[in-house]
Structure 1
Amino acid sequence: MDKTDYRILRILKENGRESASDIGKEIHLSVSAVLDRIKKLEDSGVIKSYTILVDSSKLGNDVIALMEVSLEHPRFYDEFTETVRGIDAVVDCYYLTGDFDFNLKVTCASSDELEQIHRKIKSIPGVSATRTHFALKEVKNVYAAIPGE
């Protein structure tokens, strides 16, 4: 990857629907050169998919919580991750080092709904402890960091 590829990624990060023509004008490349570069970025897996960012609160999900989860033993990893993938309110899940094994980002409509999600997660076999933090305010939410930004 070169500087031009990074410039294309930055533009697409801001607007995944930006036309190859507009990208080409901004970075001084032909439309076909831009399309070729984007295709290579997709084929190599650098660009994994195109998606949208939504404002969760406008969808009625006013509660954001970060939940740390510990497992009794690593043998519970597969069942835990499979179950968490099936919980729509869990929007991010990271396997960690340190005192807890996982960190989950949960978005939901209310503290009552969060309680139900919490109970569901605590009932997954192997879960030994949780610690939940309510997010007061979103300060930054970026899907991906591109080097040089």
Structure 2
Amino acid sequence: MRMDATDKRIIELLIDNGRLSYVDIGKELNLSRVAVRERIHNLQEDGIIERFTVVVNSEKVGKGVSAFFEVDCEPSSLVSVAEALADISSVASCYQMTGPSTLHMHVLVDDFTDLEKFINEELYALDGITRVESHILLRRFKSRTGLKL
């Protein structure tokens, strides 16, 4: 599907406020509710909009430590390590990166005791990991939850 300026504007509005109604979007763009519904449906069908979700402030629900990890793996173990990490509830995201079979991971835990437990009991317990580098988030200056068009 090829997006036009109206589709892009709909996406921008939804990124800013995913709870906007079809009517509210229509008023903003001078479209009918039905036209907006159809466009959003098409954007979903074409895979441009993958899903609607809520963003939770991790600190306000007790996840006081946010850490980022670079995890190097044996090439033959990369997929199995990534799948095992993805199954751990404290792992917020896990991506394969360029480099020597590297995974980039974001972890959210309650406190430093839980972080130590995650590292020692879950991360280091996985076979195939060759190097781990960690970074603790001190302060967030920008966090974006959607692609700006």
TM-score, length of structure 2 as denominator length = 0.93
1:127 shift after superposition? 0.5
The answer to whether structure 1 residue 101 and structure 2 residue 102 are counterparts is: yes
Instruction: Give 3-state SS (helix, strand or coil) of 1:70's partner.
Output: strand
Distance in 2, matches of 1:57 and 1:19, equals: 29
3-state SS of paired residue (2:54): coil
Q: Separation in 1 of the partners of 2:148 and 2:95?
A: 20
Matches within 5 A, 1:20-39: 20-39=22-41
Equivalenced residue count is 146
Matches within 5 A, 1:37-76: 37-72=39-74, 74-76=75-77
Name the CA distance, whole Å, in 1 between partners of 2:81 and 2:99: 18
- Please say if residues 63 and 109 of structure 2, whose CA atoms lie closer than 8 Å, have aligned partners that are also in contact: yes
Partner of 2:93: 92
The superposition leaves residues 41-66 of structure 1 with CA deviations (integer Å, 9 ceiling, x where unpaired) of: 00001111111001111111110111
Determine which of 126, 130, 133 is the counterpart of 1:131.
133
Q: Which letter does structure 2 place at the counterpart of 1:108?
A: V
Q: Where does the alignment leave 5 or more consecutive residues of structure 2 unmatched? A: none
Match of 2:15 in 1: 13
Match of 2:142 in 1: 140
Residue 55 of structure 2 aligns with an amino acid whose one-letter code is: L
C-alpha RMSD over aligned residues: 1.2
TM-score normalised over the length of structure 1 = 0.93
Whole-angstrom CA distance in 2 between matches of 1:85 and 1:107: 13
Q: Structure 2: which amino acid aligns with 1:78?
A: V
SS across alignment from 2:42? helix
Which one-letter code corresponds to 1:94 in the other structure? Answer: Y
The amino acid that maps onto 1:134 is I
More displaced stretch, 56-65 vs 99-108:
99-108
Structure 1 consecutive aligned stretches of length 4 or more whose deviation exceeds 4 Å: none
How big is the shift at 1:67? 0.7
- Cα distance in 1 for partners of 2:117, 2:77 equals 21
The code of the aligned residue for 1:60 comes to: G
